[in-house]
Chain A
Amino acid sequence: MRCKEESDVYTPWTAKHKPRKLAEVVGNQAAIQKLEKWIKSWEKAIPKKRAAFLYGPPGVGKTVSVEALANELNLELVEKNASDYRTADAVQRFAGMASQYTTLSGKKRLILLDEMDGITGTADKGGVRIITEIIKTSRSPLVLIANNAYDPRFSTLRSYCLLIKFEKPTFYEVLRRLKEICQKEGIQAEADALKLIAKKDKGDIRSAVNDLQALAQGKKKLTYQDVAWLADRDRKDVIFNVLKTVFYSKNCLDAKRAVDAADMDLDMLFEWIYENAPHHLKDPHELAEGMDALAMADLYRGRIRSTLNWKFMRYVIDFMTAGITVSKEGPARGWTPFQFPERIKWLSKTRKNRKMRSLIGLKIGKKCHLSSSAAIREVLPFLRIIFESNAEMSAGLADWFDLDDSMVAYLAGSQGS
């Protein structure tokens, strides 16, 4: 282990935790196998297709897979990407030579032409045509990478290539990778925090790892709160503008229109308004009116749930926007910054306990002929006292209820924590 590396805050984690072996690459197992098989076929004879064309969305591991493969099979990787010139001459000089001669060390060579999308018509004149020519006669395997292999510029080139499609890794694959990195970095991360990152970056593993670094580097713990902010980072201005309109515009229509313009999740917007209402409706009468409007909005949300009729959504919007607007009678007094919904944080903080509670509730309910909610309400509080004060009775009851260790620990711990 290079001890310097740990303290080097400037190393991107995408490089620091880059997979060195194929098995470490996240997702795309089928594509990787196809690539590996093709490379290995070069050992016997030059295959029909002398180039492989890897394509797929950004940040899903195309380049990384090629690098890991070269590393694992001990190939010399010769690489060019969009930052290099792609004119016919330049390509010929580089790839043409490389494709014909073996390396000095005797290692086999793998030529990588990355970021093919970056070849532009004028600056890289003739680049694609010359690459096609090189492929036809190459004595070394060539790998081409682009986001879109079906760009018309590649139509001729494509027929000489083995096409390998890379797809976005699944949510769980990304999540697993984030967990691994946290482990290596010695960061204790809340599961919900990582889930939020994985969800936000939608299969772009590079961007997920970058986000993780931005949020967690130098920390021992990564909480949901740390991440929740990032999820809204791009949306912050949008949300603030909507809130400003809802709380401070003069008429209903403006308030309602602001929601359309924001194009954001209505439940989330509700939470923002609900959180901030008491800080912006300072007069008690205004506050009562405003909170009543929000309660009405919530009532219609409930009606949507129970009838599955989405037409009621328009009333939800009326009450949570216009309802707030009209509840404000006096002029704005001073400015209070908008803040992130506390309740969202609470929900995440208490999620584990609430889950545990309902599991215990089910166990109690089964034995005591109660619903789990009634069990939580009526029996669990007394059970807590028993588990805090009497070890023998607790052990017996744990057995009788068939509680596992984590449930016992929850009951014996101090209340609610």
Chain B
Amino acid sequence: MSYEMWTEKYRPKSLNDMADQVEIVKRLKSFVEAKNVPHCIFAGPPGTGKTTAALCLAHDLYGAGYREHLMELNASDERGINVVRETVKTFARTRAIGEIPFKLLILDEADNMTGDAQQALRRTMERFTETARFILIANYSGKIIEPIQSRCAPFRFTYLPREHLIGRLKYVVQKENVSVGDDGFEAILEVSEGDLRKAINALQAAASMGKTISSETVYSVVGRASPADVRGMITLAMKGNFVGAREKLREMILKYGVAGSDIIRQVHIEVFRSQIPEKWKIKIAEVIGETDFRLTEGADEEVQLSALLAKLTEAGHEMQRGK
């Protein structure tokens, strides 16, 4: 028996297979018919079909051998200005063979590119429009510089509706012959927060445990998959044990490889759920926002987040004194 990640096995291959993002798919199909594609930005939350749409577009445009005409770059892995200058330029300037006179360049996680790299990209997009079309994929189009935005057709991907997520999960479940209780589906939906990739990954991990998937299975899987004990860390900090909280933070980052951006997102959620006085919540939110921004600037995750923890320690202390 052969195995793949289900996210790949069940990734739609053609625009015709894509059940979601109806309006977007319709427009992309019209590109295929016209055999012409403008530069595009696909923006939207994770797991909503951006990469899939780009790959399907390439498939429908070039046919089975579409890989020849396609370059997939990941801006997070290869985001330096030199990559744009060298790799992208080399790919973009050579003429395509075949019916369609341009190649397709998919730049995933483009919002992680540095400003300099984006400036360089802008020139490249302009110069090689005849031979290459760019699809920039990002969570936030706001992080793409204005001059690039104005050269691209924008596509805004939205969260998949609940019944579509369930439909997709049920399809996989049926194909893979696993059994899932109703509460199992509910639990997957809850933990995946509209992210289909996360939902299917959670499903596969739960299925690997070999029993009927109940809500308990799902919660235990997701619990094990996210070792970040953010709540515990916040509690330690607020009780005045800053050193202990910092060590927990260090453990998450270095031992488990949890991303700083994930930690800060959870801190944000937890702070508003907590018993902290309302006045303090908004003060802390300001620090959280500033920290988040600094992380995107490439500052040291632990140092920045521990400054935030120190702020929480201070807040905890003030609260006890009844201020």
Contacts and interface: CB of A to CB of B under 8 A. Distances in A.
A302 B300 contact: yes
Contacts of A374: 76, 109
A302 B299 contact: yes
A318 to B, nearest CB: 16
A370 B108 CA distance: 8
Interface in A316-360: 342-343, 346-347, 350, 353-354, 357
Interface stretch (A70-78, A104-112, A163-171, A284-292): A284-292
B209 A389 contact: yes
> What range describes how many residues of B lie at the interface?
35 or more
Interface of B: 1-5, 7-8, 46, 51, 55, 72, 74-77, 108-109, 112, 114, 197-198, 201-202, 204-205, 208-210, 221, 224-227, 240, 242-243, 246-247, 250, 254-259, 262, 291, 294, 297-300, 302-304, 306-307, 309-311, 313-314, 316-318
A288 B311 contact: yes
A284 B300 contact: no
Interface of A: 274, 278-279, 284-285, 287-288, 290-292, 294-295, 298-299, 301-303, 305-306, 342-343, 346-347, 350, 353-354, 357, 362, 365, 367-374, 376-386, 389-390, 392-397, 399-400, 415-416
Given A287-B314, A392-B1, A354 B294 contact: no
A389 B300 contact: no
Contacts of A295: 291, 294, 299, 303-304, 306-307
7 contacts: A287-B314, A298-B300, A306-B114, A380-B257, A385-B221, A386-B205, A396-B1
Contacts of B247: 342
Contacts of B242: 278, 284, 287
Nearest to A283: B317
B213 to A, nearest CB: 13
B247 to A, nearest CB: 8
Contacts of B299: 295, 298-299, 301-302
Q: Which among B201, B227, B250 has the greatest number of chain A C-beta atoms within 10 A?
A: B201
Contact of B303 (A278, A294, A371, A383): A294
A416 B210 contact: no
Contacts of A378: 46, 197-198, 201
A369 B306 contact: no
A385 B317 contact: no
A385 B314 contact: no
A278 B314 contact: no
